[in-house]
Amino acid sequence: MQFTAEIIAGFLGGSIEGRPEAVVGSVAKIEEARDGDLVFLSNPKYEEHLYHTGATVAIVNSDFRAQHPLPEGLTLVRVENAYKAFASLLDLYVANKPKKSGISSLAFIHPTATVGADVYVGEYAVVGEGAVIGDRAEVWPQVYVGDRVKVGAGSKLYPGVKVYEDCVIGDRVIVQGGTVIGGDGFGFAPTEDGSFQKIPQIGNVVIEDDVEIGSNSAIDRATMGSTRIRKGAKLDNLIQIAHNVVVGENTVMAAQVGIAGSTKVGSNVMMGGQVGVVGHITIADGVKIGSQSGIPNNILKPGITVFGSPAYPGLEGHRIQASVKQLPELRKQVSELARQVKALEERLAVTK
């Protein structure tokens, strides 16, 4: 697929600085681009690469002012928000790619399952008894859709995804390869002889509309009721969501976040990588949690930023982290003070 700068500017509502007829056929990183590539610049950190790029067209913010001569032949498309505009172009690019379609003869679909219009089901996929696959959904090779599972319209389950029985996937949900939805929650009761008795997990998982879940994540079914990921949430790779957790709308989590059972996470929460959250607590709307933070208690004040393990709010967290770095020197000072006090006590004892 090829697009001219004029078409790109028209689609984005931007202005052209250079050749409207400049043609691009692919997108690239600004530091690696070659002739015929489209790039974008939104982060000033990468501005230096623009002056040496081999790209044909670059999307920049409308207030961008070049500090050095631009490469000969480079055409700029100026827009209000270069990052958002580039994302819109990628959406257009993906929408124009050939879509998977049809049901493979090597797939198994139970006779009682319901499959909508324009659905793709790949090789060795399994659609269980009473399952429902919505219109335009994509079930890629080696996906397992369990009994009575519902997959909404336009959703995509990439290779190796497993959705266990009775779970619900909303519309336009994307689940990357290797993720398991609806595995048993970690529920065991200690017995008198020191062993553990498994507690049956009879609930399900509900994934609401427009959620995206990364590769090799695990979202456990509820003991009773539902583990729920609300509309618009985005979960990165390698994330663990335990039984009966609720994740609020438009909440985002980076890789390796783990949330223990029955915790309620609010809307528009942001969690950095490797955040760990204990069970049975509440995190308010709009909270921001720094990477590798440990959350042992409720966070009930909306919109605050916390980090550390255990996590502390804003400036308090900074002060604590700064103090930790000083501990070796403080330890030396305390030891020296203790030695001096002991010496003074010995002198006083002699003079008595």
Quick one: residue 315, left, alpha or beta (phi over 0 = left, psi -120 to 50 = alpha)? alpha
Q: What is d(CA 302, CA 55) in angstroms, rounded to the nearest whole number?
A: 44
Q: What is d(CA 326, CA 316) in angstroms, rounded to the nearest whole number?
A: 16
Q: What is d(CA 88, CA 76) in angstroms, rounded to the nearest whole number?
A: 17
Q: What is d(CA 6, CA 19) in angstroms, rounded to the nearest whole number?
A: 8
Alpha helices for 2-121 (secondary structure H): 5-12, 47-50, 82-95
- Cis bond before residue 111 (omega within 30° of 0): no
Q: What is d(CA 150, CA 119) in angstroms, rounded to the nearest whole number?
A: 14
CB-CB neighbours of 239 under 10 Å: 25
Catalytic residue check, 243 = yes
**In angstroms, what CA-CA distances link 36 with 27, 74, 320?**
8, 10, 51
Q: Given 52, 243, 280, 318, which residue is catalytic?
A: 243
**In angstroms, what CA-CA distances link 157 with 133, 150, 153, 245, 321?**
11, 12, 12, 22, 42
Alpha carbon of residue 17 to chain centroid: 36
Q: What is d(CA 255, CA 278) in angstroms, rounded to the nearest whole number?
A: 17
Q: Which of 48, 12, 13, 17 is nearest to 30 (CA)?
A: 48
For the annotated catalytic residues, the residue numbers are 243
